[in-house]
Amino acid sequence: MTPLDFLPYLDALDLSAVAVLILCWAIVGWRIENPSPDKPSVSIIMADYRREWMQRMIGREVRIFDAQTVGTLRQGTAFFASTSVIAIGGTIALIGNADRIAGLAEDFTDTAAPAVIWEMKLLIVVAFLTNAFLKFVWSNRLFGYCSVLMGAVPNDPNDPASPSYAYKAGELNIAAARSFNRGLRSVYFALASLGWLAGPIPLVATSIVTVAIVWRREFASRSRAVLLEQP
């Protein structure tokens, strides 16, 4: 089968829907990380708290709480990384049984597309999950770097090196969280890309719904309002 033979099954509407999916993923991610100053996202608000956390750590003689918190964050990244690998394996297994998927899809959509079309649609899911895995792994490593720098912070608030080390630890903590959030968004849009199995219109719909969910959590959630409350 030549690429031209795919055109009756993969037309401009499908390509446009995929473009909408990718644009939604890229634009919402950029906006969350680069919001307007008067309406910061939860990620940006939390970045300030992370910096303050590292500075307050300087004055604590016993830093078991800080170490446990970073350890918990690392466990979260490890969990999602392993989950992404399992999901990638499961999706690849589905690709290996694309003929059965094509038969099932034909019953629901009345579209007799060849198996290779369904394989291409599932590869979008694999691409998002692979990106998520890479982000989670990098986040895990950055939290490890942060732990090392936290251990290097002098146990003396009056030591002139303390603020500098605490600042570096805070910035690494923020970078790790940013990578973790990017991984989560990739997982969200991997789920959204499953809408393509039902057709281009459902893919656009799932993309928009995913953007709405992510946007609300970052800019209109109750947790954001709590973070902005003045003590």
Residue range 148-165: average pLDDT?
91
Taking only the tens place, the pLDDT of each residue in 81-97 is 999 999 999 998 888 77
How many Å apart are CA 16 and CA 131, to the nearest integer?
Answer: 22
Closest CA to 77 of 122, 24, 21, 135: 135
pLDDT at 198: 82
pLDDT at 60: 87
pLDDT at 33: 96
Reported as a pLDDT band with limits 50, 70 and 90, residue 4 is very low
Taking only the tens place, the pLDDT of each residue in 48-79 is 999 999 999 998 888 899 999 999 999 999 99
Reported as a pLDDT band with limits 50, 70 and 90, residue 19 is very high
Percent with pLDDT over 70 in the chain: 88
pLDDT at 69: 94
Q: pLDDT at residue 106 above 90?
A: no
pTM of the model: 0.89
